[in-house]
Each structure stands twice: as structure tokens, then as C-alpha cells.
């Protein structure tokens, strides 16, 4: 717990200060990956990532991933080979340091309880994507705490359709095995992150959006159920 809190404070402040002094593309990705390593290494947790496509060539895009527990965020920051922001819940904006770091990054806050503000936030996210910033969304809307993948909400796919960018399904494996959030207990092991083939959404009609959400969920569930996945160690990619 102390290590995670110290890592968040150190990397959050470091990113905020350095970005204010000299804004630079890619800095959030580097500080995010550094934060992930600082959180994971003392616990003996590694991240292995595999992609079926050249991810940098697809950007900007909307990454959609299953959400098992709190390890998913640092794991994704270590695994994805491109700069991206999060679509984060608005309550995180009030968290000291972390909220300011997210606000300084390419991320956007979404107030799910206020439809008007939520829609405005998604329009902001679509604009940032069109300007070249990829985003990551956990379309389940909450943590599963296991291998099951809950139904996907439509917002991430509406966002991809309106921005005119591809969707990249991402599967997070075994995070739930390595961290018991109820007892705040972690154990050593490997989190695997696999990126499936991208696809585009042809329109914003309800049936097409629902089909895209179902397709992405099916890809992630299929990856989850696979027993033989090629991987490569990727937790040292960003220095």
C-alpha cells in the first residue's frame, strides 16, 4: 500500500511539473509506464503484451478492454505502445495529485450520473481523438473481479463512430488472480495483455453500435478462453 501511494505521488507530481514546464507529446505514456513499474516490481508482478496488428499505425483509435480490478490501469499504461488517455469517472477528478495528473493528460472525465455533462465530455473526447489522441475505455462500466466479461455499454462505440477511428479490443488476463482488492493483498505473477484485430464502425445507428459492442466483447471473451497465446515481455518497452 505504501509503495503504491508513494509511486502515485512521485509519478503524478513529476508528470504534472514536467508537463507544465515544457509540454511534450508522449510524456504521459512514459510517466504512466514508470508508475506501473514502480507499483508492480515490489510485488513481483510482470506485464506481457502481444498485438496482432501494428498498433501505432492504427492511432488514433479507441481501445476497449475488460476491467478486472485496480491492476488494469497500470498494466495498460505499461502494455500499450502508444500515447493515450482514459475516459475516467468524474469522481477521480477530486483525488489529490491523481486527479490533477489525469486532467493534465489526454484523458477526459465523464459524469455518468448527469447525461448532459456526460454527453459534453464524450464530445470533448471525440474532438481530441480527431486531433490525434487515442483513448482507452472500460465499457463494462465497473470491475468484474474475475474472468467473466460483463455486457458492454454503448458509449465507447458511439465515440469511435463519431470520431471515425477504429476500435481495438484489448484483453487483460489474470489481474484478478494477482490482487485481492477486498484484503488489499497482491501476489507475484504475470498479467497478460492481448490486443485483437481492429475494426471500424460504419455508422451511428443503434443496431450498428450494439453489433460493434457485442463484437468487441466476443473478441475479448474468446481471447480470455484461449489457452495458447503468444506473448512477449513488454514491461521494459518505455524507459
pLDDT band at 37 (very low <50, low <70, confident <90, very high): very high
Q: What pLDDT is attached to residue 232?
A: 42
**What is the mean predicted confidence (pLDDT) over 5-19?**
93
Q: Which domains does the chain have, with CATH numbers?
A: 2-233 (3.40.1130)
pLDDT band at 2 (very low <50, low <70, confident <90, very high): low
Starting from the edge strand earliest in sequence, which strands make up the sheet with 45-51, in order?
A: 108-110, 84-89, 134-137, 62-65, 167-173, 189-195, 45-51, 232-233
Helices (H), the chain: 2-21, 27-40, 55-58, 72-79, 98-104, 115-130, 155-163, 175-178, 206-225
Query: Strands 134-137 and 189-195: what pairing?
Result: unpaired
- Work out the average pLDDT over 178-187: 85
Question: Which residue from 90, 211, 88, 210 is spatially nearest to 154, judged by alpha carbons?
Answer: 210
For residue 85, the model assigns a pLDDT of 93
Longest dimension (CA), the chain: 48
- 21 versus 239: which is more confidently predicted? 21
Task: Note the pLDDT of residue 1.
Answer: 59
How far apart, in whole angstroms, are the C-alpha atoms of residue 213 and residue 157?
A: 7
Model pTM score: 0.89
pLDDT category, 92, cuts 50, 70, 90? Answer: confident
Indicate if the pLDDT at residue 101 is higher than 90. yes
Q: Which of 30-34, 51-55, 63-67, 143-147 has the lowest mean pLDDT?
A: 51-55
- Taking residues 121-125, what's their average pLDDT? 83
* Amino acid 203: pLDDT: 81
- Reported as a pLDDT band with limits 50, 70 and 90, residue 230 is very low
Amino acid at each position: 500500500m505504501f509503495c503504491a501511494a508513494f509511486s502515485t505521488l512521485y509519478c503524478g507530481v513529476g508528470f504534472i511539473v514536467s508537463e507544465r514546464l515544457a509540454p511534450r507529446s508522449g510524456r504521459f505514456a512514459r510517466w504512466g509506464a514508470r508508475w506501473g513499474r514502480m507499483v508492480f516490481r515490489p510485488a513481483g508482478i510482470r506485464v506481457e503484451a502481444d498485438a496482432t496488428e501494428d498498433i501505432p499505425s492504427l492511432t488514433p483509435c479507441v481501445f476497449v478492454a475488460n476491467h478486472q480490478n485496480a491492476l488494469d490501469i497500470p498494466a495498460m499504461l505499461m502494455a500499450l505502445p502508444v500515447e493515450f488517455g482514459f475516459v475516467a469517472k468524474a469522481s477521480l477528478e477530486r483525488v489529490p495529485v491523481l486527479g490533477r495528473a489525469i486532467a493534465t493528460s489526454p484523458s477526459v472525465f465523464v459524469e455518468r450520473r448527469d447525461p448532459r455533462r456526460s454527453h459534453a465530455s464524450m464530445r470533448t473526447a471525440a474532438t481530441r481523438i480527431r486531433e490525434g489522441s487515442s483513448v482507452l475505455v472500460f465499457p463494462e462500466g465497473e470491475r468484474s473481479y474475475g474472468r467473466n466479461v460483463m455486457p458492454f455499454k454503448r458509449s465507447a462505440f458511439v465515440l469511435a463512430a463519431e470520431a471515425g477511428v477504429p476500435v481495438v479490443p484489448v484483453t487483460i488476463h489474470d489481474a484478478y488472480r494477482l490482487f485481492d482488492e477486498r484484503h488489499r493483498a497482491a501476489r507475484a505473477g504475470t498479467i497478460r495483455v492481448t490486443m485483437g484485430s481492429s475494426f471500424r464502425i460504419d455508422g451511428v445507428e443503434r443496431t450498428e453500435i450494439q453489433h460493434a459492442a457485442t463484437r468487441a466483447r466476443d473478441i475479448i471473451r474468446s481471447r480470455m478462453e484461449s489457452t495458447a497465446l503468444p506473448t512477449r515481455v513488454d514491461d521494459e518497452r518505455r524507459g
